[in-house]
Amino acid sequence: MAGPIGDRLIRVDMTAGNVSIDPYPEDWTLLGGRALSARILLEECDPGCDPLGPDNVLVLAPGVLAGTAAPTSGRLSVGGKSPLTNGIKEANVGGNPGQDLMKLGYRGIVVKGQPADPERRYALEVTADSARLVPADAHKGKWNYPLIEDLSQEYSKTTSFISIGPAGELRLTGASVACTDHEQDRHPARHAGRGGLGAVMGSKGLKYVSVDAEKRPVRKPAKTKEFYALGKKYTKTYLDGPAKEPFPKWGTSAIVAEADTLYTFPYKNRVEGRSPDVETLDGMRIVESFETRGGGMHNCMTGCIVKCSNIVHDADGKYKTSALEFETLTLLGSNCAIASWEDVADLDRLCDELGLDTIETGAAIAIYMDSGGLEFGDAEGAKRILREVAEGTELGRAIGDGAVAIGRKTGHHRVPAVKGQAIPAWDPRPLKAAGVTYCTSPMGADHTAGLVVEPGQPYEEAVRASQESQILNAVCDSSGFCQFLMPNLDEIREFFGHFLGEQVSREQIADLGWRCLEDEWEFNRRAGFGPDDDLMPECMKQDAIGPAKLVWDLDPALVARAYERFEPRDELFESRPS
């Protein structure tokens, strides 16, 4: 299958300081985003390497449909060997860089090696005609927001940025990679958070990537009439249906109350599944603030029809953060017994400034509180600890390294993590299929890898539902579509077919997702992963929540069936991400 003529791949050698622009392999036409990252890592990265050493490979890969007129299709995959899990990792992010790279015909950026001097900082500048490394020592140590404010004065208004904060430069394993949104101020508020890939970028000496797409038009599909008609139809269906609901109309923060009723709004390091502070943490309080403070809902990338991102202002009507998501309200709020959404907004802004995953960081702070290091609910203490991350104190570094690291430092017994990565808000005790995903996904405990929000499923069905969701999400993250757009496999393959000019069958699209998973599982197998890495932590088996006394109780042999491909059902193609 031939892709668009002229597509290219940027390769960066940080050791030699060289950049090349190569033709994109034709046999990779269907690969984008997560699937492309997985293939490159399996073929070009030693799975046994030190994640923070020169042999790791950092991949920045837009989805196949990024840069087109398909709605909400410009997401970017950040991939590499995770210093948090020691396995393969992809973290998916919005903002404009993915769109801009693809408008220029760049299907990905592959970064290898390390500079001889670990104290040096560099930037990769990408334009339509060139990609080059330039010194960036002047920006060393800058927090993300001041960095982008400074870069906005140096670069054109059409430039978007990918950056790391101090946490990435310090190579802390909870570090995220920030992308700027499409607002005029270009806030670095979109984060590829999970897996510590900001530390990988930091280990490469790469402080930021600039992408200037100028005023390039969207990519042209092979079947123009059919592609645009499909996009128009899909947009109307979405806006007339899901867009009218509380989510995605008000973003993920609006599902706090629902999650609480499902016992998946964890409290005090997950010893309970519901929070007494649900009313003051409910995202609808943020929505109510729009009337007096300003702010509101917006789209994080050009061409997004979901518009689920909230812009949060402080009491004086000044911008504070975007977006304050459900996961952040849960892990940095309820899980730490911090009762006010406004305190969580402060913590969210600090994490974005430092370049830290809010899920991993919230879990780490809760473990520290549970161990007696800080009182539960101490919001000012949590803010103080986050500021210590930038200072590189012993405690700051331990928090910045995530849940397992702080658990090891404190010797605490309750560390809710799978494959070294903190369990997100969606709790595996009431949501068994989500738990199967955490255990069997190559990504570890990552809800974006295959979330199923359906309590009470028979256990065998939970395993199958997890596998189907993992396949669907792998394809979605490879397409460039946002999961909140809720595309199913039939819809994605139809967009692919019109864009590429050749029909994509159900078998092909399902195989794309399954092969992505197989590439990732094989990478992890070569890295030394085995059945013992697929186990839920003891605290999830022992700490019962809710009146039903829910614990994680699935037999590992049953969980392992997720690795055996089930016969595809119509639901695999017609269902939507939870």
The hierarchical CATH code for the domain 222-243+428-578 is 1.10.599.10
Tokens 């994080």 belong to which residue? Answer: 300
What is the model's pLDDT at position 3?
57
Question: Where do the H-state alpha helices sit in 80-209?
Answer: 97-103, 144-154, 166-169, 197-203
What gap in Å lies between CA 155 and CA 163, rounded to an integer? 14
Helix (H) or strand (E) holding 422: strand 421-422
Whole-angstrom CA distances from 133 to 97, 281, 436, 463, 487 are 17, 44, 42, 46, 37
Beta bridge partners of 89: 80
Q: Which token pair is 104?
A: 């220029």
Task: Pick the closest to residue 123 from 82, 162, 153 (CA basis).
Answer: 162
For residue 328, give the 3-state DSSP assignment.
Answer: helix
Q: How much of the chain exceeds pLDDT 90, in percent?
A: 96
What is the model's pLDDT at position 185?
85
Whole-angstrom CA distances from 438 to 42, 435, 447 are 21, 5, 7
Q: Which token pair is 524?
A: 């992890």
Strands (E), 251-367: 296-298, 309-313, 319-322
What is the model's pLDDT at position 577?
67
What gap in Å lies between CA 365 and CA 350, rounded to an integer? 14
Rounded to 5 degrees, φ, ψ at 543 are -85, 100
Helix (H) or strand (E) holding 109: strand 106-112
Instruction: Please say whether the beta carbons of 496 and 30 come within 8 A.
Output: yes
DSSP assignment of 326-352 equals HHHIIIIIGGGT---HHHHHHHHHHHH
What gap in Å lies between CA 519 and CA 42, rounded to an integer? 6
What is the model's pLDDT at position 1?
59
Tokens 């979405």 belong to which residue? Answer: 238
Whole-angstrom CA distances from 213 to 60, 101, 183, 210 are 16, 7, 15, 10
Residue ranges in the chain modelled with pLDDT below 70:
1-5, 577-578
What is the model's pLDDT at position 5?
58
What is the model's pLDDT at position 571?
86
Helices and strands of the chain, counted as H and E runs:
23, 17
Q: Which token pair is 193?
A: 């958070």
Q: Which token pair is 239?
A: 């806006």
Instruction: Please say whether the beta carbons of 207 and 123 come within 8 A.
Output: yes
What gap in Å lies between CA 234 and CA 228, rounded to an integer? 10
What gap in Å lies between CA 363 and CA 266, rounded to an integer? 10
Annotated domain spans of the chain:
8-212, 222-243+428-578, 251-425
Whole-angstrom CA distances from 356 to 170, 173, 395 are 11, 9, 15
Of the CATH numbers 1.10.10.2120, 1.10.3210.10, 3.55.40.20, 3.60.9.10, which one belongs to the domain with range 8-212? 3.60.9.10
Residue-averaged pLDDT of the chain = 97
What is the model's pLDDT at position 2?
57
Instruction: Please say whether the beta carbons of 136 and 151 come within 8 A.
Output: no
The 10s digit of each residue's pLDDT in 413-472 is 999 999 999 999 999 999 999 999 999 999 999 999 999 999 999 999 999 999 999 999
Topology adopted by domain 251-425:
1.10.569
